[in-house]
Amino acid sequence: MGNFEFLPCPKPQHSRRKPKRGQHTRITNKASKEAKRRASAGTGYLCCERCGVSVPKGWFERAHAVNASQGGGGSKPWDILVLCGPSTETGTCHHWADNTAEGRKWRRAKQGELILYYTAGEGRKYWK
């Protein structure tokens, strides 16, 4: 061990330039609050955006309109849907939307409706 000396030096303290994928797909608090406001707009309490149930079998979950694994964002309210869950249990809206072709088609159509709602419709006063 006589050939090696211990010469400590500080590690560089720089930040990452490019955000990781998890940071891009993360659902932000602002978008989440707006999605929950939208889901409770007609009734005053939270409801599933697909089936309209107010007391789900499990609980309500925020779902990406485009799967996070496919690059779906979470920073805009039209990227987020409030569905009854859990997504792992058969028979819930979140499971249906994630795991069936019909559900994936519905998510895309719903996202299109929401984009119009927030860009040209009533939602402009809630999201800037």
Find the largest Cα–Cα distance for the chain: 77
pLDDT for 2-35, tens place per residue? 688 888 899 888 888 888 878 888 999 999 999 9
Q: How far apart are CA 104 and CA 96, in angstroms?
A: 8
Separation in Å, CA 59 to CA 13, 55, 79, 80, 127 = 42, 8, 20, 16, 26
SS3 category, 64 = strand
Identify the bridge partners of residue 61 per DSSP, sorted by sequence position: 83
What pLDDT is stored for residue 2 in this prediction? 64
pTM as predicted:
0.81
Containing H/E element for 85?
strand 80-85
Tell me: pLDDT of 1 over 60.
no
- Are 65 and 79 a contacting pair, CB within 8 Å? yes
DSSP-derived letter for residue 62 is E
